[in-house]
Amino acid sequence: MQDDPKTLVSTDWLAAHLKDPDLRILDGSWYLPQAGRDPRAEYEDAHIPGARFFDIDDVADQRSELPHMVPPVEKFMSRMRAMGIGDGHQVVVYDGVGVNSAARVWWLFKLMGQPNVAVLDGGLPKWQAEGHPTEDMAPIVRDRHMTVRYQNALVRDVTQVSAASKLRDHEIIDARSAGRFRGEDPEPRDGLRGGHVPGSRNVPFPSLLNDNGTMKSPDECKAVFEAAGVDLSKPAITTCGSGVTAAILSLALERLGKSDHSLYDGSWSEWGAFATLPVATGDD
């Protein structure tokens, strides 16, 4: 793969840059409750040297009833300052799956106007499989100021997605499984209807990944989107269950050189909960 410090970097790249003074590494692991995994405990047991733990549920808008919604700018800035992450840093985010929740952290940094952030391709499993070091020590943190330039174009709310669904002037791309998209499989969260936003396309996020948890090449990802009927000439809105795996689609689109994409932050946790919003089922 081609290393790109603004999207995706290899384990070889990270190993070569591990001691760079302005490198900051984040463990952005997050799992659905059904997985039975504790990301913070796993981080404390073993993490890439120097990594800080990024809690997706904490660096979020706690005023919202929806899970891990985008935090207020001030909260993001204060949390990052406390973690010693700020202007001039190159950030690399990984997770305990491969390319999964790290993509959400990558997108959140992009939303806050931080361009120098990348996902570690293959994540912690690939890093460990290759014999690279881990540690269980907390890093020494020094405050660093961060300048935030919020990028409104990267996020969409329910009203904007509803308009896009009616006008069909965007491609709404759903990262959930085909069974959930069609409304055949139950949602992992209680109280949600089955189905999808009318007019959306289904690109289950695993279809963009290799068996070892790395992301497919840009050409392969492009073929996956096109096979799902996605018109890449249109602006894209990515969505999923709660705005986490949608960011994997966003990362893949960015790797294609497509910049006119945004993420529906509320995703199906919001859309599926409101009876007044229309729902499509099957492949329609």
Cite the active site residues: 240
Mention every residue, 6+ apart, whose C-beta is less than 8 A from residue 37: 29, 31, 96
